[in-house]
């Protein structure tokens, strides 16, 4: 099959799809990824074809509005309010995204489109091309179940009807937020302004859904339809020729296992102030630490760190996390997955989006303390969380056991097998 993957956002919104693309290529499929140009060289370096998309989303995230949104969008209602407030500034960006993703789809002529839900218009592109599409995502948000509410809603003792209504609410918000952008595109391509029913192809068949997280972390509901599957995480392991820097190796070996602290590509309004709080929190905890600047999450430039701390830009999580005592991060799905797979306790300090959700999941599994939202992060709270985590033998045991279960799963293989069984159009 010719398979197009549409995704947009941070590195965490791209890396799982790159892992999936490699698995699909190994199975003999012709795959292209369409995402922001900032990721083009990285995708190409792993031998996967790339189709261009502008960097508007990335540029917005680095703007003052974007930084503010990352610190204040902590639940679904906050996301709606933020979206309404920023809509005038996002309008042109979303139209350009749809147009450029359509250009990629039209040029490649895929048999199947796999899409992140932020890739607005994917279902419409599939309708226009006469091909199938499937949601490839990492949150329990779009496939209804009576067993638990949709992502972004509280767990309330109101039964299955309440739970199902939360997915209906997600559907309404999703369709309303995309309608004005998609309507213009559909009309410009001679299609009816009204889209097919939610998560259905134009011929009435359901759109398949792949959920890229571990069933050991969020179990698959027993009432899900056959066209939905929790596959397991899609891990992109470091290349076999990876060589860590000598200072990193020396630091790890010269004392007890350090903790890891990094916020990836997520940055708030003042990364420098966040970094100072982190450094002071680590100092108060009395532990050793590796601090990763990542793609802007921590600002470690020109800082004189004590001997108990080492600053790095980044290192492959699958290599590094096995060598630390615990991981402290923002709670992105990918970083959370890497820490859990390594069997390490996890301290999550979420900014926005899905990060508070994963913080609650980790805490509920007993493999990490209660999350500390970034807007409430202080040196004292971080130090207390680090000390309690490192001294909790039960938490360490649960984290190690969960890591073993996750390492026994093969999410990419499960996803590839599921994709190959998606029915073709008749």
Please check whether residue 207 is in contact with residue 200, taking contact to mean a CB–CB distance below 8 angstroms.
Answer: yes
Q: Which two tokens stand for residue 63?
A: 């703007």
Question: How far is it, in rounded angstroms, from Cα 252 to Cα 320?
Answer: 10
| Chain Cα centroid distance, residue 11 | 8
Residues 6+ apart with CB under 8 A from 277: 377, 378, 379, 382
Output the pLDDT for position 266: 60
Q: Which two tokens stand for residue 177?
A: 């937020």
Phi, psi for residue 254 in degrees, rounded to 5: -90, 5
| Strand (E) or helix (H) holding 261 | strand 259-262
2-233+409-420 to CATH, choices 3.40.50.2000, 3.40.50.300, 3.40.50.970, 2.120.10.30: 3.40.50.2000
Output the pLDDT for position 387: 97
| C-alpha distances out from residue 95 to 182, 234, 252, 346, Å | 9, 30, 48, 39
Q: Which two tokens stand for residue 231?
A: 């596959």
Residues 6+ apart with CB under 8 A from 169: 150, 153
First to last CA, the chain: 16
Please check whether residue 257 is in contact with residue 324, taking contact to mean a CB–CB distance below 8 angstroms.
Answer: yes
Output the pLDDT for position 60: 74
Give domain limits for the chain.
2-233+409-420, 246-407
Which spans in 286-392 are helix H? 317-320, 333-341, 355-364, 379-390
Running along the chain, 426 residues long, what does each successive block of 10 average in pLDDT?
A: 94 93 98 96 96 86 62 56 64 89 97 95 96 95 95 90 95 87 92 88 94 97 97 90 91 96 72 89 96 77 89 92 96 94 96 89 97 93 97 97 97 98 86
CATH 3.40.50.2000 fits 246-407, yes or no: yes
């Amino acid at each position: 099959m010719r398979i197009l993957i549409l995704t947009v956002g941070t590195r965490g919104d791209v890396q799982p799809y790159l892992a999936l693309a490699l698995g699909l290529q190994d199975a003999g499929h012709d795959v292209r990824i369409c995402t922001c140009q900032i990721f083009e060289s990285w995708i190409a370096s792993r031998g996967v074809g790339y189709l261009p998309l502008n960097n508007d989303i990335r540029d917005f995230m680095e703007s003052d509005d974007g930084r503010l949104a990352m610190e204040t969008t902590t639940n679904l209602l906050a996301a709606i309010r933020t979206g309404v407030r920023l809509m005038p500034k996002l309008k042109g960006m979303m139209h350009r995204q749809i147009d450029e993703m359509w250009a990629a789809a039209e040029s490649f002529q895929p048999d199947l489109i796999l899409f992140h839900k932020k890739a607005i218009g994917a279902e419409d592109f599939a309708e226009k091309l006469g091909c199938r599409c499937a949601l490839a995502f990492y949150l329990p948000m779009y496939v209804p179940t009576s067993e638990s509410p949709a992502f972004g809603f509280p767990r309330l003792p109101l039964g299955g009807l309440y739970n199902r209504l939360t997915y209906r609410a997600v559907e309404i918000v999703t369709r309303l937020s995309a309608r004005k952008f998609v309507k213009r595109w559909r009309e410009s391509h001679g299609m009816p302004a009204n889209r097919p029913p939610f998560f259905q192809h134009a011929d009435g068949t359901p759109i398949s859904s792949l959920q890229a997280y571990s069933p050991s972390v969020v179990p698959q509901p027993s009432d899900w339809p056959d066209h939905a599957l929790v596959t397991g995480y899609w891990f992109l392991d470091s290349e076999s020729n990876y060589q860590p820097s000598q200072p990193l190796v020396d630091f790890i070996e010269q004392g007890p296992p350090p903790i890891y602290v990094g916020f990836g590509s997520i940055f708030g309004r003042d990364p420098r102030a966040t970094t100072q709080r982190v450094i002071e929190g680590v100092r108060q905890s009395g532990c050793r630490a590796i601090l990763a600047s990542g793609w802007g999450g921590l600002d470690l430039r020109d800082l004189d760190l004590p001997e108990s701390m080492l600053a790095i830009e980044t290192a492959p999580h699958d290599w590094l996390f096995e060598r630390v005592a615990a991981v402290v991060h923002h709670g992105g799905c990918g970083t959370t997955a890497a820490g859990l797979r390594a069997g390490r306790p996890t301290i999550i300090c979420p900014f926005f989006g899905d990060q508070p959700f994963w913080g609650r999941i980790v805490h509920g599994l007993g493999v990490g303390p209660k999350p500390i939202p970034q807007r409430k992060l202080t040196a004292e709270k971080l130090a207390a969380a680090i000390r309690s985590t490192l001294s909790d033998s039960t938490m360490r045991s649960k984290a190690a056991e969960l890591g073993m279960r996750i390492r026994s799963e093969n999410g990419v293989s499960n996803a590839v097998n599921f994709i190959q069984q998606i029915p073709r159009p008749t």
